[in-house]
Amino acid sequence: MILDRYFARRFIQSFLVIGGIFLTLLILIDLIEQVRRFDEVDLSFGQLLHLTLLNTPAAISEMLPLLVILSTIALFVGLARSSELVVTRAIGRSGIRALLAPAVLALAIGAAAVALLNPISAATSEEYTRLSDSYRNNGGSAFSISGEGMWLRQGSQNGQSVIHARGTSNGDTLKLNEVTVIAFSQDGTPTQQIAADSAVLDDGKWTLSDAKVWSLDQGINPETNAVEHSTLEIPTSLTRERILDTLGRQGAVSVYDLPQLIRDLSEAGFSTKQYEVWLQVQLARPIFLVSMVLIGAAFTMRHVRFGGTGIAVLSAVLLGFGIYFVRNFAQILGENGQLPIFVAAWAPPFAAILLSLGLLLHAEDG
């Protein structure tokens, strides 16, 4: 138990040091990227730094596998150079037994990433999108799905418009059914309400069918002055790709909200497969981090007198990237329906664990 605590402490120290280095580099690089992206917008350094920090949790979440495998490599290379692994084997404890503490810690880090970091990164990603749209497009646009249907908000020089639809038909063109549009002036005062049977998104405009328009100006009776149109066009800066991209940003949805979102999307007529796969991928994250520990250990639990430490470290990192690529590829196949959801999410981490255990057993027992 004392030895396990020692290995755990060394692993956490490596994880924090490597994580701190990567976090510093990440903030500096992303800050430069924000300066480039908003070079045409007059933003202060504080606003740019705020945007950078909002991006940071999501980036850390994506970097966790790399941090874990590098921490494992740093741990076992250090133990090998100090001959502590030789002493560990001399007292009758196998090298595989020494993996228990790092593997348990990786499992705990993965669980914390799912339970805590995922909601934080989802909230900060959503806030980043809102602020960046606000800085670029005078209030920007927003998109959400609820049990009451789909909500859209679009901005223009004249103010904001809120669009509500009971359902959608998502084919070659985006079509909204049972549409209500409320237009607001720059000061937030409602100026117009439109009800239509449907709305089709064309290039730079919504085409409404069987629309009725009520003016909400003061001193005017809305119903008396209502106007009906068989076809009505409303300008918009939204595109079908932009809406679907916003819809497809799984990282902006907390793992706790995903089950309800999947139900709402299904009721609104959208495919939910990518969200179902993403939910299972997030739940499998602790197992995936454990596989990163085993992969890192499989190449570095060897004495330095054998030489080839650099090649072993490079091999571990390359295999880790390969497993990461396979997991992402399987996720894409799952989203496209070419793999079952459970297989797409859970097969890569378990396959990586079995592969690394095979390598470890071969190294330990020949």
What is the band of 237 on the pLDDT scale with cuts at 50, 70, 90?
A: confident
Cα–Cα distance between 276 and 261 in angstroms, integer?
Answer: 10
Q: Which of 151-160, 240-249, 347-356 tops mean pLDDT?
A: 347-356
Q: Is the pLDDT of residue 152 over 90?
A: no
CA distance 110 to 282: 9
Containing 180, the helix (H) or strand (E) segment is strand 174-184
Per-residue pLDDT, averaged over 165-171, amounts to: 69
pLDDT at 144: 66
User: What's the pLDDT band for 215 if we cut at 50, 70, 90?
Assistant: confident
Residue percentage of the chain with pLDDT more than 90: 32
The structure tokens listed for 188 are 């937030």
Percent over 70 (pLDDT), the chain: 84
Residue identified by tokens 């009906």 is: 228
Residue 195 within a domain = yes
Q: Is residue 254 in some structural domain?
A: no
pLDDT at residue 114 in the model: 93
pLDDT at 227: 85
269 and 357 assigned to the same domain: yes
pLDDT at 254 over 80: yes
Same domain, 132 and 9: yes
120/220 same-domain check = no
CA 309 to chain centre: 34
Among 237, 255, 281, identify where a domain stops. 237
Grade residue 323 by pLDDT with cuts at 50, 70 and 90: very high
Evaluate whether residue 252 is within a structural domain. Answer: no
Burial of 119 (0-12, 13-18, 19+ CB in 10 A): middle
Considering the domain architecture, whether residues 125 and 182 belong to the same structural domain is answered as no
Residue 73 has pLDDT above 80, yes or no: yes
The pLDDT, as a whole number, for residue 112 is 95
**Highest mean pLDDT of the ranges 6-15, 150-159, 298-307:** 6-15
Residues 209 and 354 both lie in one domain: no
Range of the domain at 65: 2-136+264-365
Residue 249 lies in a domain: no
Residue 94 located in a structural domain:
yes
Q: What distance in Å separates the CA atoms of residue 158 and residue 180, rounded to the nearest whole number?
A: 19
Same domain? 132 vs 149: no
pLDDT of residue 268: 60
Task: Indicate whether 245 belongs to any domain.
Answer: no
Among 91-95, 139-143, 153-157, 261-265, the range scoring the smallest mean pLDDT is: 139-143
Residue 85 has pLDDT above 60, yes or no: yes
Q: Which two tokens stand for residue 20?
A: 């701190």
Report the range of poorest mean pLDDT among 137-141, 224-228, 305-309. 137-141
pLDDT at 306: 61
> 170 and 129 in one domain?
no
Determine whether 66 is exposed, middle or buried from the number of CB atoms within 10 Å of its CB (0-12, 13-18, 19+).
middle
What is the arithmetic mean of pLDDT over 315-323? 91
* Euclidean distance between CA atoms 214 and 223, whole angstroms: 7
117 and 203 fall within a common domain: no
150 within some domain:
yes
Lowest mean pLDDT among 101-105, 152-156, 281-285, 346-350: 152-156
Same domain, residue pair 349 and 229:
no
So what's the pLDDT on residue 142? Answer: 59
Q: How many domains does the chain have?
A: 2
250 assigned to some structural domain: no
**Identity of the residue numbered 23:** L
* Residues whose CB is less than 8 angstroms from the CB of residue 238 and which lie 6 or more positions away in sequence, other chains included: 141, 152, 154, 201
The yes-or-no verdict on residue 5 having pLDDT over 80 is yes
Q: What does the pLDDT read at residue 303? A: 65
**Same structural domain, 12 and 102:** yes
Evaluate the CA torsion angle 166, 170, 176, 182 in order and state its sign: positive
φ, ψ (nearest 5 deg) of residue 190: -65, 135
Distance CA 346, CA 282 (A): 10
Q: How confident is the model at residue 248 (pLDDT cuts 50, 70, 90)?
A: low
The CATH number of residue 182's host domain is 2.60.450.10
**Total residue length of the chain:** 366
Residues 128, 26 within the same domain: yes
26-64 pLDDT per residue, tens: 999 999 998 888 887 778 888 889 999 998 999 999 999
Question: In this structure, are 128 and 6 located in the same domain?
Answer: yes
Q: Please give the pLDDT value at position 18.
A: 95
Q: What is the DSSP string of 280-349?
A: HHHHTHHHHHHHHHHHHHHHH-S-GGG--HHHHHHHHHHHHHHHHHHHHHHHHHHHTTSS-HHHHHHHHH
Q: What is the mean pLDDT of residues 276-286?
A: 93
pLDDT band of 157, cuts 50, 70, 90: low
Task: Write down the pLDDT at residue 14.
Answer: 93
